Amino acid sequence: MAVEQTYLMIKPDAVAGGKIGRIISRIEDTGLTIERMELAHLTFEQAAANYAEHEGKPFYDSLIAYIVSGPVVKLLISGEGAVAVCRKLMGATNPAEATPGTIRGDFGLTVDANVMHGSDSVESAEREVAIFFPN
């Protein structure tokens, strides 16, 4: 495996629910490096750029409204196979299908409020890192 960078975002439901520390601990426990971490309110433009592949789908408008509804924690993560490690750590997109012990399996409520976003490929990670950490 190669050293990679990936983008993770702790979503508004997890921030509001006081889960930031427990989620960060799980990321740190993998041995990956948190290069940058910021608490922020996403702009509509950032949200639209991040979820551009979903534009036109029935859930798109509610997804954008949700993700800009409150603060998120943006994370730039690096390490060996960072994308795959983070995807496994997060668990399935639908918390009802996520394995217990994964972040979504333990903390997620619904597909809409599933605690985290994470890049699904090295290419997506490059695009998302550029959106949220442009420098």
> Using an 8 Å Cβ cutoff, are 32 and 77 in contact?
yes
Phi-psi region of 44 (alpha: psi -120 to 50; beta: other; left: phi over 0): alpha
Query: What is the C-alpha separation between 135 and 98, in angstroms, rounded?
Result: 34
Q: Which residue has the tokens 């551009």?
A: 52
Catalytic, 54? Answer no
Tell me the torsion sign for CA atoms 87, 125, 7, 3. positive
Active-site annotation holder among 46, 117, 128, 129: 117
Q: How many Å apart are CA 69 and CA 34, to the nearest integer?
A: 25
Q: Show the tokens assigned to 116.
A: 């985290």
- Enumerate the active-site residues: 117
